């Protein structure tokens, strides 16, 4: 799923941390980062911020209920 214009980074990470399964984002170069790992989370966003400014992220989750949390986040 694609997420657009993420402005509340703190809330985004709260949702990631609350997810039952792994949460992955993919860079435009095809690099996949698991956001459930704190170290990987910081590395991913250090790499993605300059290129995307969180305007668009490709997100992949393991469980459908986790996807619903991100959908609610983007709608709210």
Instruction: Write the pLDDT tens digit of every residue in 32-75.
Output: 889 999 888 887 777 666 554 466 778 999 999 999 999 999 89
> What is the Cα–Cα distance from 4 to 19, expressed in whole angstroms?
19
Alpha-helix residue ranges (DSSP H) falling in the chain = 9-18, 38-52, 64-75
> What is the Cα–Cα distance from 54 to 4, expressed in whole angstroms?
7
Residue 6's domain comprises 2-75
Number of folded domains that form the chain: 1
Is 52 or 17 the better-scoring residue by pLDDT? 17
Q: What is the value of pTM for the model shown?
A: 0.80
What is the per-residue pLDDT for 52?
46
Cβ atoms of residues 49 and 42 within 8 Å: no
What is the per-residue pLDDT for 56?
74
Measuring CA to CA, which residue among 17, 25, 30 is closest to residue 66?
Answer: 17
Measuring CA to CA, which residue among 17, 12, 5 is closest to residue 53?
Answer: 5
Q: Of 1-5, 26-30, 52-56, 58-62, which gets the smallest average pLDDT?
A: 52-56
What is the per-residue pLDDT for 22?
97
């Amino acid at each position: 799923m694609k997420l657009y214009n993420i402005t509340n980074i703190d809330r985004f990470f709260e949702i990631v941390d609350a997810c039952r399964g792994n949460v992955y984002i993919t860079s435009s170069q095809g690099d996949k980062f698991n956001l459930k790992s704190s170290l990987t989370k910081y590395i991913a966003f250090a790499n993605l911020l300059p290129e995307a400014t969180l305007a668009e992220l490709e997100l992949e989750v393991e469980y459908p209920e986790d996807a619903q949390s991100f959908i609610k986040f983007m709608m709210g």
